Chain A
Amino acid sequence: MNKNKKSPQTVEFKNKPKIIGNYSIVGPKEGAGNFGEYFDYVMKSDLFGEKTYERAERKMVETALVGAIDRAMLTPRDISLLLAGDLLNQIISSSYAARSFDMPYLGLFGACSTMAESLAIGASLVDGGYFKTIACSTVSHFSTAERQFRFPLELGNQRPPTSQWTATAAGCSILSLEGSGPVITKATFGKVTDFGIKDVNNMGAAMAPAAMGTLVRHFEDTNSKPEDYDLIVTGDLGKLGSEILIDLMEDKGYKLGINYCDCGQMMFRRKQETLMGASGCGCSASILNSFLLKKIKDGTYKKILFMATGALLSTTSSQQGDSVPGIAHAVVIEKE
């Protein structure tokens, strides 16, 4: 197995694990955003016909999973492992969703980096031949995240200018060596990086150093440069975070040009008043599993670097005055 190991942080996959099925589901606000037409399913209400937002979030995972399995022309019985995670305490959305499926499950927590994390782990396991078909899924929900991390939904407060809007969205990808679809060729696992940002309303600034670390490491490990990719897309740094990332990368001698973009920054339209843009695991997961994979399949992009970033804080750590550590994982996805 060690032959695949190129360096401590980047793994190269020799057997071409492919994304053979993908599905995205979003809330009404996200559906009205820039990628509205690309999502597989836009919910009519944030409650998704459930009694609570938490249950709605669970149902989103289930829907995404079933949808992706369906797209891959498989049945739930064919899935040998489910890798999933979300933002809620004890990742209840993923675990509770997994209980209604008859498949082995590994819960992941990488905050908003979970999509890239699950793809990287999934691709490693599939490539190594340990599992045949792996489902990778993440979800986030504005209302549940807001309740857990911030204030009640109806509280009449103002959002700070650096804040982001947790996307109500879920995405699921099915990985396998058999079948056809975009190929995951490399993955870079990130390190927890903390530059001492304490403002919980400024996630972009907290996560940008981690993104920079993973990106620099990726370019060094793979001996590549930003221009080698048709698109370098980060998860949810938001407007401020991506500007910081561009600056940080420039300090390291890498120039992120027009091929760099951020899912969080792109998700909503300006008039939707989300300030720095979207955040949450679902943000990058839904855009990857709709727009990005579609554009790779139709050949618009041949090779992209998908890097999701996460802020690994909890309400307890922030109330106790600790700073916000960030993490970023990256995967290279290429046209078959």
Chain B
Amino acid sequence: MNDIEKNKKYNEYVEAKIPKTRAFPSLLNSFWVGGLICVIGQAINDLLLTAFPYMAEQTAWGYTLIILIFIASFLTGIGVYDRIGRFAGGGSIVPITGFSNSITSPAVDFKNEGIIYGVCVKMFSIAGPVIVIGVLSSIIVGLIYLFL
């Protein structure tokens, strides 16, 4: 038996032995925490519109996002968001709060390496790919839209 075959066999054996994540509880927790974050967002939006009746709906959306981003950053800073994330998984990663967490957490982590080479450089180490892919896909969608 050569090495490649042996390694393949070992990998298959290990794969079969790995404990599987139980899908249902994970999905359930993701669903309700993710849903809760969206409900909170909607509540902030509605409150803004009630408190400032002359505010345009578009402006209120902007403020809602800013407030959500702030809350998530704040929770990251005091060490709460990672616990929510461990519990909810995708539920707290997918909403904009997860994006905020992915920028704040390296910034907090690398503050000892200095403002420029630490915070500024590392800040986008997790969120960077998301931004690149977001921009790229919007270009592609834009092009498709242009020619259709």
Binding site for B on A (CB under 8 A): 51-52, 147, 151-162, 194-197, 202, 205, 209, 240, 243-244, 247, 323
Contacts and interface: CB of A to CB of B under 8 A. Distances in A.
A162 B18 contact: yes
Given A154-B108, A195-B10, A240 B82 contact: no
Contacts of B53: none
Contacts, number: 92
Given A196-B10, A240-B19, A155 B102 contact: yes
Closest 9 CB pairs of A and B: A156-B85, A196-B7, A154-B105, A152-B105, A152-B109, A155-B105, A205-B14, A195-B10, A152-B106
Q: Is the interface of A mostly helix, strand, loop or mixed?
A: loop
B101 interface: yes
B58 interface: no
B14 A157 contact: no
Contacts of B83: 156
Nearest to A194: B7
Contact of B17 (A52, A160, A209, A240): A240
Contact of A156 (B7, B20, B93): B93
Contacts of B8: 196
Contacts of B6: 195
Given A147-B109, A157-B85, A195 B7 contact: yes
B20 A161 contact: yes
B86 A161 contact: no
Nearest to A243: B17
A152 B108 contact: yes
Contacts of A151: 105, 126
Contact of A202 (B14, B106, B110, B126): B14
Nearest to B81: A156
Interface in B102-139: 102, 104-106, 108-110, 112, 122, 125-126
Contacts of A162: 18-19
Contacts of A153: 82, 105, 108-109
28 contacts: A152-B110, A152-B122, A152-B126, A153-B82, A153-B105, A153-B109, A154-B79, A155-B101, A155-B102, A155-B106, A156-B81, A156-B84, A156-B93, A157-B82, A157-B86, A158-B26, A161-B19, A161-B20, A162-B19, A195-B6, A195-B10, A196-B7, A197-B14, A202-B14, A202-B18, A243-B17, A244-B17, A323-B7
B85 A155 contact: yes
Nearest to B89: A158
A240 B18 contact: yes
A191 to B, nearest CB: 14
Nearest to A195: B10
Contact of B11 (A152, A196, A240, A247): A196
Nearest to A52: B112
A151 B105 CA distance: 9
Nearest to B90: A158
B87 to A, nearest CB: 9
A155 B86 contact: no
B50 interface: no
B31 to A, nearest CB: 15
Q: Which of the listed residues B14, B86, B93, B112 has the most CB atoms from chain A within 10 Å of its own CB? A: B14
Interface string B1-39: 000101110110110011111000010000000000000
A99 B15 CA distance: 45
B126 A161 contact: no
Contacts of A244: 13-14, 17
